[in-house]
């Protein structure tokens, strides 16, 4: 009897395991944009990545030659839109991740996707197919950060030591430009895509486009050759596309004034780097003053604070945290959320000072330490059940010079640092609350009393659902007095949803200034800063 039951049991187990095919999401292979965001749809002829479980073999299998198959190692994907079903062109497959090309002849519209492995189908996944939704590949493979951008002549990948210059030709690599004609499975189909509604922006300027179409390399891979606009210099210049009215993800490119090396003013000096190597991390101090005006539908108040923080950044995170290039005036960027921390990210280690006092026109105080390494005092209007010591009711920071004085602590020696706080910037055309902002029209922000050398940060955020959405930040010279947020930036935000009847959107305008460095025993670099501005909400982006 056992010799009969054993094979049957094995067969039933195999059928049970093979039936557990789960398809959880499908996203642009370059941008990884959430499907609920404006640039999160799949594109005709674009490469997408599907995530789930039990979708393929345990060991990744990929295509090795043309023509490309519609079934690979037992995995196949079909998409149905408006009653028409197409079979996707496979690129690679594994248990939890699969890559494929959505054929260009897939109808546009709302539909469904089904993935099958060894004959067992997943449940249908709702998808939306559009003609254009470009994603730019990033070096980190996350859809943000340094872009996969190459010198069009040498094919060298752009970086801070392989920077571009004005008038140079660059190739930007991505997927989702739009559909093409021909047999995509048979091989690459290079050539300009005709009548392509494309704009490419580098550092806020529109770049000349010489070529935009499929690469001669790979099916579904797009190549766009541009000319670097003049007058732009920076180690992390924002780059984005607008194709058919859809704004892409944002990446950065390095552009030097001359030569191949971009000079980053935030880069560590040799002595700072040596000290960081010796101490196992960069020891930093940040002293800051903040003046904030909060406007909501129910209450308006000023919320000011003074704080100083000491910490040690891990060596592995220096490029992520401590030496990032500063923001550039007249540029914007958009970042989707939630945001995942980089792989291997390590939290900073707090450094302990002694007692820290704070003196200036607003009075004299002893800072409290709500958590190790952080020392602060907050000034806000009277409120019920305020945290003892943290709130000093009714006081605000007025212009003048403020001084932090610290006694020796476990990690930080005695120090004294002063910050001169000027009269605050005033946002003159701020909206009332609640307010509605059109995503299809440019948004102009005006202000007065900008401080020379400071930047104005214009930040907007809109949620598509709980915890999912996108936010933009535009930077402007504080002395300019005005800045217009392009409609393409606002269109990258999703329409705002409401939770409990409250729209989950906001708009903030803040002046930010980084002042002179300071020194203290136990740190490698100390930074002073002040900020003042306005936080408005709720805001509805529609």
Do residues 438 and 462 touch, judged by C-beta distance below 8 A? no
Check whether the bond before 338 is cis (ω within 30° of 0): yes
Please give the pLDDT value at position 111: 98
Encoding tokens for residue 281?
A: 């991390």
Q: Are strands 426-427 and 443-448 parallel, antiparallel or unpaired?
A: antiparallel
Do residues 113 and 124 touch, judged by C-beta distance below 8 A? yes
pLDDT at 162 over 90: yes
* Average pLDDT, integer, range 306-310: 97
Which residues are CB-neighbours of 339 under 8 A, at least 6 positions away? none
* Average pLDDT, integer, range 176-184: 97
* Average pLDDT, integer, range 115-144: 97
pLDDT at 386 over 80: no
* Average pLDDT, integer, range 222-234: 97
pLDDT at 418 over 70: yes
* Average pLDDT, integer, range 143-150: 95
* Average pLDDT, integer, range 464-470: 95
Encoding tokens for residue 188?
A: 């690459």
Encoding tokens for residue 371?
A: 């958590």
Please give the pLDDT value at position 325: 78
pLDDT at 389 over 60: no
pLDDT band per the 50, 70, 90 thresholds, residue 19: low
Ranking 115-129, 207-221, 331-345 by mean pLDDT, the lowest is 331-345
Please give the pLDDT value at position 533: 96
Question: Rounded to an integer, what distance in angstroms lies between the CA atom of residue 314 and that of residue 342?
Answer: 13
Nearest partner of 191 among 225, 149, 168, 157, judged by Cα: 225
Percent of the chain predicted with pLDDT > 70: 91
Question: Rounded to an integer, what distance in angstroms lies between the CA atom of residue 167 and that of residue 213?
Answer: 21
Q: Specify which residues 539 forms β-bridges with.
A: 435
pLDDT band per the 50, 70, 90 thresholds, residue 194: very high
Helix (H, G, I), strand (E, B) or coil at 465: strand
Do residues 101 and 91 touch, judged by C-beta distance below 8 A? yes
Do residues 478 and 445 touch, judged by C-beta distance below 8 A? no
* Average pLDDT, integer, range 12-31: 75
pLDDT band per the 50, 70, 90 thresholds, residue 173: very high
pLDDT band per the 50, 70, 90 thresholds, residue 321: very low
Please give the pLDDT value at position 5: 32
pLDDT at 381 over 70: no
How far from the centroid of its chain's Cα atoms is residue 377's Cα?
Answer: 31
Question: Rounded to an integer, what distance in angstroms lies between the CA atom of residue 259 and that of residue 163?
Answer: 8
Percent of the chain predicted with pLDDT > 90: 82
Instruction: Compute the half-sphere exposure of residue 55: CA atoms within 13 Å on the CB side of its CA.
Output: 27
136-255 and 20-130 share a CATH fold: yes
pLDDT digits (tens, 9 = 90+) for 81-114: 999 999 999 999 999 999 999 999 999 999 999 9
Please give the pLDDT value at position 317: 58
Please give the pLDDT value at position 18: 46
pLDDT band per the 50, 70, 90 thresholds, residue 9: very low
Please give the pLDDT value at position 24: 97
Question: Rounded to an integer, what distance in angstroms lies between the CA atom of residue 229 and that of residue 109?
Answer: 36
* Average pLDDT, integer, range 499-522: 96
pLDDT at 323 over 60: no
Please indicate, yes or no, whether the overall pTM of this predicted structure exceeds 0.85. Answer: yes
Do residues 478 and 427 touch, judged by C-beta distance below 8 A? no
Helix (H, G, I), strand (E, B) or coil at 490: helix
Mean of the per-residue pLDDT values of the chain: 91
pLDDT at 360 over 50: yes
Homologous superfamily assigned to 20-130: Immunoglobulins (2.60.40.10)
Q: Where are the domains positioned within the chain?
A: 20-130, 136-255, 270-541
Nearest partner of 371 among 389, 346, 345, 352, judged by Cα: 352
Architecture of domain 136-255: Sandwich (2.60)
pLDDT digits (tens, 9 = 90+) for 241-296: 999 999 999 999 999 999 999 988 877 788 888 888 888 889 999 999 999 999 98
Nearest partner of 174 among 335, 27, 28, 49, judged by Cα: 28
Which residue do the tokens 């260009």 mark?
Answer: 104
Q: Are strands 363-366 and 368-371 parallel, antiparallel or unpaired?
A: unpaired
Please give the pLDDT value at position 275: 85
Q: Which runs of E-coded beta strand occur in 244-299?
A: 246-247, 251-255, 281-295
């Amino acid at each position: 009897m056992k010799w009969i039951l054993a094979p049957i049991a094995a067969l039933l187990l195999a059928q049970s395991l093979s039936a557990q095919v789960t398809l959880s999401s499908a996203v642009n292979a370059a941008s990884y944009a959430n499907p609920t965001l404006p640039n999160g749809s799949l594109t005709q002829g674009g490469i997408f990545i599907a995530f789930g479980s039990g979708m393929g073999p345990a060991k990744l299998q990929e295509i090795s030659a043309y023509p490309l198959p519609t079934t690979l190692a037992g995995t196949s994907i079909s998409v149905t839109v408006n009653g028409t079903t197409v079979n996707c062109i496979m690129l690679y497959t594994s248990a939890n991740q699969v890559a494929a090309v959505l054929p260009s002849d897939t109808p546009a519209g709302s539909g469904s996707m089904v993935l099958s492995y060894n004959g067992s189908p997943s449940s249908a996944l709702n998808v939306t197919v559009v003609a254009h939704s470009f994603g730019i590949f990033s070096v980190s493979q996350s859809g943000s950060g340094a872009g996969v951008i190459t010198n069009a002549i040498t094919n060298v990948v752009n970086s801070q030591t392989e920077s571009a210059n004005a008038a140079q030709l660059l190739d930007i690599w991505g997927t989702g430009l739009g559909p093409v004609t021909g047999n995509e499975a048979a091989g690459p189909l290079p050539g300009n895509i005709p009548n392509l509604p494309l704009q490419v922006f580098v550092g806020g300027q529109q770049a000349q486009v010489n070529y935009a179409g499929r690469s001669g390399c790979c099916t579904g891979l797009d190549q766009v050759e541009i000319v670097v606009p003049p007058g732009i210099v920076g180690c992390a210049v924002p780059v984005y596309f607008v194709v058919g009215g859809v704004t892409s993800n944002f990446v950065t490119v390095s552009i030097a004034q001359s030569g191949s090396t971009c000079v980053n003013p935030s880069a560590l000096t040799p002595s700072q780097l040596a000290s960081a190597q010796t101490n196992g991390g960069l020891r930093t101090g940040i002293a800051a003053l903040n003046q904030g005006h909060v406007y909501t539908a129910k209450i308006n108040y000023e919320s000011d604070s003074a704080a100083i923080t000491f910490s040690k950044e891990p060596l592995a995170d220096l490029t992520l945290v401590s030496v990032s290039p500063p923001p550039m005036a007249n540029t914007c960027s958009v970042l989707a959320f939630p945001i995942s921390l980089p792989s291997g990210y390590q939290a900073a280690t707090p450094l302990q000072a002694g007692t820290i006092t704070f003196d200036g026109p607003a009075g004299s105080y002893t800072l409290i330490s709500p958590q190790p390494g952080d020392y602060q005092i907050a000034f806000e209007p009277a409120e019920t059940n305020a945290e003892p010591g943290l709130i000093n009711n009714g006081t605000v920071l007025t212009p003048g010079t403020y001084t932090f004085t610290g006694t020796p602590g476990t990690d930080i020696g005695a120090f004294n640092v002063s910050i001169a706080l000027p009269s605050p910037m005033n946002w003159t055309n701020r909206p009332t609350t609640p307010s509605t902002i059109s995503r299809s029209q440019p948004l102009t922000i005006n202000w007065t009393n900008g401080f020379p050398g400071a930047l104005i940060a214009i930040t907007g955020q809109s949620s598509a659902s709980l915890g999912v959405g996108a936010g933009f930040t535009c930077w402007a010279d504080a002395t300019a007095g005005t800045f217009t947020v392009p409609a393409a930036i606002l269109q990258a935000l999703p329409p705002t949803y409401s939770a409990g009847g409250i729209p989950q959107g906001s708009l903030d305008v803040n002046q930010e200034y980084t002042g002179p460095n300071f020194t203290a025993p136990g740190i490698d670099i100390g930074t002073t800063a002040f900020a003042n501005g306005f936080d408005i909400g709720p805001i509805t982006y529609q």
